[in-house]
Chain A
Amino acid sequence: MNRWEITPALSRALLVSGLLVGGAVLLGQPALVVLAAPFVVLAAFALISRPTSAPVVRGVLDHVSLYEGQGTRSRLQVTEADGVEHVTRISAQAPYIALHPASGRVSGLLSAGVPALEVSPRRWGRRTLGEEKVALTSPWAGYRWGPVLEHGIEMTVLPASAPFDSAAEAPQPLGLVGSNRSRRVGDGTEFAGIRPFQSGDRLRRINWRVSLRTGDLHVVTSRGEEDSGVLLVVDALSDFGRSGGVGAGASSLDVTMRAASALAEHFTRNGDRVALRVIGGAWETVGYGAGQRHLRQILGRLAGVRPARLRDDATERLRFGATAGTVVIVLSPLLADAVVTAAASLHRRGLPLIAVDTLPDEAAALAPEDTDGQVADLAWRLRRTEREHLLTALARQGCPVVQWRGPGTLDDVLHRLARRAQLPQVRVR
């Protein structure tokens, strides 16, 4: 209804004042005029204040990209607001969007500013705010504009980084400049050894104590420091368990995304090159890169992930683009053959690979409502049994599988992989 309409309050004031004044004349009762006087004046002010403008309302968010659990304000821009005294906003509820006030209803005088709604997304992903109805009222509540329907604004909700830190170094750093201790001798700070002076050695590396003792010049050598490639492989084939949003119960995809976010943040902060592959319907990829800008790109891509199955013929054509020295971290509830097969094939190539189990202990498949509970329970137990077989198969291949538990999840495995990297290996290409 995009025009100014007379309000029921003004209609009531006109009706009451008219009939009371008419009754006063017909019945000769002065008391009725006294009763009618406030209504007459109120109606007169309301009629005089009739607006002639055509207001335009537009919803805006202070921030359209947030981490889950953060908050922002949903504001309403009202232009052509001449003759508008009061604003009412009614916002519909949307999944995983918390509003304050919780009812999503605010109102107030325009002179005090258009009332704002506080919005907090509770789960990662692309979230759309609920539709909003806006009504504007003229001075003295004589006329109303609307309610007009405002479509919900879309926002990108980045997965909150789960608490994570790791003191372990990358097993096979093979890059340019970074913070990981390389196996190769280079221009780093970590002591590697002392050897006789060679042409081209820097003078400041001469170890004078050893040189005087042996009678020949000796220099100190150090290990190079290189960055490492880290490939995050995210399983988005399906989502197990019920998500209650940040701070509540987590589904398998919640754990996966938050763990991937934490790992990407950690390795990016260490100066490593991080890449992303999402196994799912859309096969999202982000190439290798470093820095905050790259991290935002990875998180944005994670936020756009929706669980979807691969086409049957797509499983065999998965290409991860992992080069030598890349640490591959597969984040998955490990319930799909395709993911386990991909992990095993990467491991056979000799790449340091860690499978991170992201299936929450309390997770269960969400069965349709009309499904028999016992049947659903039995089916879930069968899935769990199949999963045990897959985990056993992975373990038989020597592929480490760790349960995601936040800080220190990868330390032990990375240390072992670093030690294993020193040993001669036979690689399948």
Chain B
Amino acid sequence: MISIWRSWTAGQWVLRVVMVAGPLVALFARTPSLGAPPAWGVLIVLVLGVGWTLLPESVVGAVALLAVGFSWASSDTTEVSVWVLVAASGLLAAHLAALVASYGPPRLPVDPGVTRLWALRGAGLSGTAAAVWLVARAVADLPDSPTIWILGLVVALSVVVVAAGAIQVASPQEDR
């Protein structure tokens, strides 16, 4: 395993650090509103993060992100804290770091142009989380608000995914 680590370039090391740190940041971001995460939870996320750095294209990454995500659902409160934006940014940063890392093998130098492009895209995608958070705050005082806005957002997101899928089906590619 040490030989694998040694083969990473400096850029790949930075990406791997983000892949481990992102889920941990997202996990600890719940502390102000929901309390500190349990030690075993931190350990699991840490182990999953390290495993993800070794296999950036494996399902381990999705498990790590989902584990952190559902740690935010382990409370009865439906209040949407501002810290959830930090968590969303942490998870997104880890995902994008793994995405850039999976452009090639670990010894591939990270292209600065690619890093800039995905940093800009990441900032834009974080903006969508902020927009959703603002909507959530706006409808928080409405009666039965959680159910209403969740259903609304789910419908909106489903429309996006279905539309994307429809475009994909409408332009089938030929196998070569």
Contacts and interface: CB of A to CB of B under 8 A. Distances in A.
A38 B129 contact: yes
A33 B157 CA distance: 10
B104 A105 contact: yes
Contact of A9 (B59, B102, B161, B171): B102
Contact of B136 (A17, A34, A47): A34
Given A3-B173, A34-B84, A54-B174, A137 B103 contact: yes
A2 interface: yes
A33 B153 contact: yes
Contacts of B62: 11-12, 15-16
A109 B69 contact: no
A31 interface: yes
Interface string A1-16: 0111001110111011
Interface residues of A, number: 58
B111 A108 contact: yes
B173 A20 contact: no
Given A39-B92, A47-B165, A90-B104, A32 B136 contact: no
A174 to B, nearest CB: 61
Interface string B92-136: 100100110011110111010110010001000110110111001
A16 B154 contact: no
A86 B95 contact: no
Contact of A101 (B58, B65, B91, B109): B109
A105 B108 contact: yes
A3 B165 CA distance: 18
Interface string A126-152: 000000000101001100000000000
Most buried by B among A16, A27, A31, A32: A31
A21 interface: yes
A374 to B, nearest CB: 36
Contacts of A44: 160-161, 163-164
B149 A30 contact: yes
- The dominant DSSP class at the A interface is helix
Rank and list the top 3 A-B pairs by shortest CB-CB distance, nearest first: A47-B164, A8-B57, A38-B125
Most buried by A among B105, B114, B165: B114
B103 A86 contact: yes
A88 B104 CA distance: 7
B111 A29 contact: no
B81 A31 contact: yes
B168 A2 contact: no
B175 interface: yes
Contacts of A54: 173-174, 176
Nearest to A47: B164
Nearest to A46: B164
A37 interface: yes
Contacts of B73: 23-24, 27, 29, 31-32
Contacts of A7: 99, 102
B151 interface: yes
Contact of A28 (B66, B88, B92, B146): B146
